[in-house]
Structures are given as C-alpha cells and as structure tokens.
A and B are shown apart, each in its own frame.
Chain A
Amino acid sequence: MRKLILILILCLSSNLDLKAGGIGVGLSAIYNFQTESVGAGFRLNFKPDNRFRVIPQAAYYPGFNKVNEYYAGLALELTIFKIKKYDFYLLAHGGYNAWLNYESSGMEGAKYSNAVLEGGAGIVKNSGCWRPFLEYRYNGKWKETNLRLGIMYVFGCKNKGYGATNKRRRSAVSCPAYN
C-alpha cells in the first residue's frame, strides 16, 4: 500500500508544472482526541487557488500511540467564504485505513482494513508561497475527531508576498517598430 501511494505521488508530481503555481505540498501535525494519538499528514493540493480543490493525502499515527494506523485517500475542499487573507472551507475525505494494532483493541469487529469517511472544516491562508492551515475533522467510521495543523508550500510562487494568484506577469512583447 505504501508503494502505491508513493508511486501515485511521484506520477502526479512528474506530470505537473511545478512552476505554474498549480500545486501545493503540505505537511501537518494531527491529534486524534478520542484515541489520544498524534500523527503526521502529507497532502498534495492541486490548484490551491481554486474554490473547489481535490487533495490526495495520507496520514500516519506511529506505534507509540494507542492506535497505530495510517490513512490514504482523497479530500474534496470547497471554500465557502473568504476573510481577507484566509479561506474558510468545508471538506469531505474518503479513503483507506490500515489499523495496524487492531488486535490489541477490545472493540468488537476490529480489523486491519477499513474504509473511512470524514467531514470537516478548515481555514487556510490564501496567498503567498507558505500557507498555514488548520482543520477539524469528524471520522464517521470510528466516530472520532481530529485536529490538523499544517503548512503548505505552493510551487510557482515568484516572490515573497506574491502568490500564485499574482496575475501581474511580464511577458515578452516585441515592439514591431524595432524589428
């Protein structure tokens, strides 16, 4: 499964023009309130300036937690309103969950492979190359909530203070008068 995710990321990455400002790469720290577990997340944000975004992502909760697991899936985000430099969005995430230490749980029906669906909301900075974000999610499968605090780097940013939304570009213009 890990190999599949890596291949997916590499293929997607290799087919994108990283200079075009069309992709963000994010890392996040995650805390699950019910399992009291900490984890890390990774995501790719295609066209981060769009109101509607498709975001493949993965998360991993290491073995020192009460629940050792990883997730891989796809999130859909929709910005519902903006306030100055921040977008507020709703999200839905569906994916695969591998519960690595399920056997140590007393929960009836615990198993290794699971399908999960999450819903939530978040806030993200909508300009600049470095864009912090904060999300709160509810996992419908496990009935657990988690908070994600992360940072995303948007490729294609030209200068500090300018984001991929900067439409003021210099283009090569030839002056017919001088040709």
Chain B
Amino acid sequence: MKRIIISLSIMIGLIWLISCSRERIEPTQQLNSYEPIDDYLDSKKQEEQEFEITEEGDSPIQGLQGTKIWIAKDLLMFPDSSDVDFPFTVKLVELYTAKDMIYYQLPTVERPKILETDGEIRVRVFKEDENGVVQELLLKPDRVFAIEMPTDSVREDMKVYYGYTLNNKPDWTADVSDVNGNSADLYFTENSNSYSAFIGKLGWINCGKPHLGFNGLTFTSETDELDNVGIFVYQPTYQTVSQAYALTSDNFEDSTFVKVIAMGINSDNELFYTYLGVELNSSGSIPITLESISDDQLTALLDSL
C-alpha cells in the first residue's frame, strides 16, 4: 500500500513538473518593435562622387577607391537620342567593402545564386538640356565605355554583371540582351591588381562570379519584431553579401561559414544589433535577440566584416 501511494505520488509529481503548461493564461509577450532601418542605412551611405568633364582628354576619371573610367562625349546621348556636348557630369559610387554594400542594401546575388564579388560600382552621366533640365544620359547604341576596378587579390573568371530591380529587390544579371552586347565584355580581363572591361550600359556594375547553393537561413525571434530589422549574411570567402527578405536569406553552398548581422532602430533612434557566425551545413533557423549598440560600435563592427 505504501509503495502504491509513493508510486502514484511520484507519477503525479512528474506529470506536473515535466508536462504542464500555463500557456492558455500566460500573457502575450510584447515584442520589441523597431522603425524601418532604411533611413539609418541611407545616412551612412558613401557619398556619390561627381566629376565634371569639360574637355576631351586621355586620362581616366579616377574614383577615391581606385576605380577608373574612360568615357567620351561621343559615346553618350540624351534619352531622345540627341548628341551630347561638354560639359557633362559623371557620377560614381564605389562599393568595395561589405559595409558599403550593406549601407546601400545592395546584395551580391543573381537569384537564386549568390555572387562571389570583387566590387560594385555605379556610373551615371548627367547633363542639362537646352531647356535647363538635368537629364540622365544613355550610351549610344553599340557603344561601350571602359572601366578598371581595383582589387587586392585577382580572382579568375569574373563576369560583368549589370544591376536591376526585380520585385522591388535589387538583383544582378550577366545577360547582355538589354545592353550594347555586341561590343561589351562578358568577362573582366585580369590585370595584376585590377580588372578591366568594356561596359555596355550605364548604371550599376558588379565584378562577380555565380555560385549555386541550397542552404539558406530563416530568422526568428521571441523577443523582437523582425519586420523592420535589416538582416544581412556575409560570406567572407566569396565576399558575398546577402540580404534577408521576409526573414529568409539567399542559399549558400555546403560547409559555408557566414556572418549574420541584424540591425534595428527604435523610435528613439537607439540602435540594436545581433552578430554571430554560422557554419552552414544545411538550411536552418536562427533565433535572434537584439542588443543595444552605439553608432560608432556598429560602424566598427561592419568595418570588421
């Protein structure tokens, strides 16, 4: 009798401790909410460089980070196909670091593939028309311009990618059907410490190489609403930057080591972050808990990527 009572008591106690739930009456946990991160990232973007071209010359335009551009007025036209005269303005953005790509929210992908990259640049040309309206110029049909992109270590078989927007998301393509494909290079020429190519379209250009993977990350949180949080995945080996959309990253190859950086900003302009390293052997879910961080600390963290 004593044994029966003891056994029943233990059974009852175990059921209580192991299996019981108060979920039906527990209050819903309020998640930390954040404002859209776009304004903060925009505020940290690299300044666009401007070069006023007033006369013909042999010297290339050279950006602060070493990009060189050779572009002549005879290559250019107004959108109505009329010719262009001096002066005109060349605008250049150079994104050679993960930090700069993140600030510009410009992932290196050719969906569904990721791009190994050695830099993204944007080249645009502007001129005031006869009515005093500043217009963005185009390349004339079948005309190309030359660029040279610097690198610390030359990678092989890097292709010329052009940037575009698909479903409100930035993407890249090596398809030249929309560019002056007859003369444009498909691949960059490898120099000792740079790449060079003839480019068939003004706009965003990526020096990249595609890789197809099947392991992606999804992001969850029990403490934070992630809708407005900027989540990026950086793969150091390929210098790839992936941005999570709908809390899901792009797919990476097996046995890939990636760094995840999530950034949030609240209504008081206070910054929050999560930073962690993940070895990707299969698709997985990553729980995120954001912690407070200063602007300087976050900048330093992105610099260290």
Measured CB to CB, the residues of A under 8 A from B are 33-36, 66-67, 81, 83, 88, 99, 105-107, 110, 121, 136, 138, 142-145
Q: Which residue of A lies closest to B28 (CB)?
A: A106
- Beta-carbon contact of B12 and A66 below 8 Å: no
- Beta-carbon contact of B24 and A67 below 8 Å: yes
Within 8 A of A (CB), among B1-46: 1, 4, 8, 12, 15-16, 19-29
Closest Cβ–Cβ distance, residue A88 to chain B (whole Å): 8
- Beta-carbon contact of A34 and B25 below 8 Å: yes
- Beta-carbon contact of B25 and A143 below 8 Å: no
Option from B19, B20, B28 in Cβ contact (under 8 Å) with A33: B20
Give CA–CA (A83, B4) in the complex, Å.
12
Give CA–CA (A29, B244) in the complex, Å.
54
Which residues on the B side are within 8 Å of A121 (C-beta)? 8
Which residues on the A side are within 8 Å of B27 (C-beta)? 106
- Beta-carbon contact of B16 and A107 below 8 Å: no
Answer whether A138 and B15 are a contact pair too, CB < 8 Å, given A106-B28, A121-B8.
yes
**Of listed B16, B22, B27, B28, residue having the most chain A CB within 10 A:** B22
- Beta-carbon contact of A33 and B26 below 8 Å: no
Closest Cβ–Cβ distance, residue B225 to chain A (whole Å): 15
Q: Which residue of A lies closest to B22 (CB)?
A: A34
Give CA–CA (A143, B29) in the complex, Å.
20
Give CA–CA (A12, B274) in the complex, Å.
64
For the complex of A and B, 7 pairs with smallest distance between CB atoms = A106-B28, A143-B21, A66-B25, A107-B23, A34-B22, A138-B15, A107-B24
Q: Which residue of B lies closest to A36 (CB)?
A: B25
- Beta-carbon contact of B12 and A35 below 8 Å: no
Give CA–CA (A99, B24) in the complex, Å.
10
| A-B contacts at CB below 8 angstroms, number | 47
Measured CB to CB, the residues of B under 8 A from A are 1, 4, 8, 12, 15-16, 19-29
Answer whether A67 and B20 are a contact pair too, CB < 8 Å, given A83-B1, A136-B12.
no
- Beta-carbon contact of A35 and B19 below 8 Å: no
Option from B12, B20, B28, B29 in Cβ contact (under 8 Å) with A34: B20
- Beta-carbon contact of A67 and B15 below 8 Å: no
Q: Which residue of A lies closest to B15 (CB)?
A: A138
- Beta-carbon contact of B21 and A144 below 8 Å: yes
Give CA–CA (A146, B19) in the complex, Å.
13
Give CA–CA (A110, B24) in the complex, Å.
8
Give CA–CA (A83, B1) in the complex, Å.
9
Give CA–CA (A43, B187) in the complex, Å.
82
Which residues on the B side are within 8 Å of A138 (C-beta)? 15, 19
Give CA–CA (A59, B186) in the complex, Å.
76
- Beta-carbon contact of A143 and B19 below 8 Å: yes
Answer whether A143 and B26 are a contact pair too, CB < 8 Å, given A121-B8, A136-B12.
no
- Beta-carbon contact of B15 and A145 below 8 Å: yes
Answer whether A142 and B19 are a contact pair too, CB < 8 Å, given A121-B8, A136-B12.
no
Q: Which residue of B lies closest to A34 (CB)?
A: B22
- Beta-carbon contact of B25 and A35 below 8 Å: yes
Give CA–CA (A145, B17) in the complex, Å.
11
Give CA–CA (A31, B265) in the complex, Å.
46
Answer whether A33 and B16 are a contact pair too, CB < 8 Å, given A83-B1, A121-B8.
yes
Give CA–CA (A51, B285) in the complex, Å.
52
Answer whether A142 and B24 are a contact pair too, CB < 8 Å, given A83-B1, A121-B8.
yes
- Beta-carbon contact of B19 and A34 below 8 Å: no
Answer whether A34 and B21 are a contact pair too, CB < 8 Å, given A106-B26, A106-B27, A136-B12.
yes
Give CA–CA (A42, B55) in the complex, Å.
98
- Beta-carbon contact of A143 and B12 below 8 Å: no
Beyond A34-B24, A66-B25, 6 additional contacts (C-beta under 8 Å) are A33-B20, A34-B22, A35-B22, A35-B24, A83-B1, A142-B21
Which residues on the B side are within 8 Å of A81 (C-beta)? 4
Give CA–CA (A34, B24) in the complex, Å.
9
Closest Cβ–Cβ distance, residue B234 to chain A (whole Å): 33
Q: Which residue of A lies closest to B25 (CB)?
A: A66
Give CA–CA (A121, B24) in the complex, Å.
24
Give CA–CA (A144, B25) in the complex, Å.
11
Closest Cβ–Cβ distance, residue B12 to chain A (whole Å): 6
Which residues on the B side are within 8 Å of A35 (C-beta)? 22, 24-25
Listed by A's residue number, 13 A-B pairs whose Cβ atoms lie within 8 Å are A34-B24, A35-B22, A35-B24, A67-B24, A67-B25, A105-B25, A106-B29, A107-B23, A138-B15, A142-B21, A142-B23, A143-B20, A145-B16
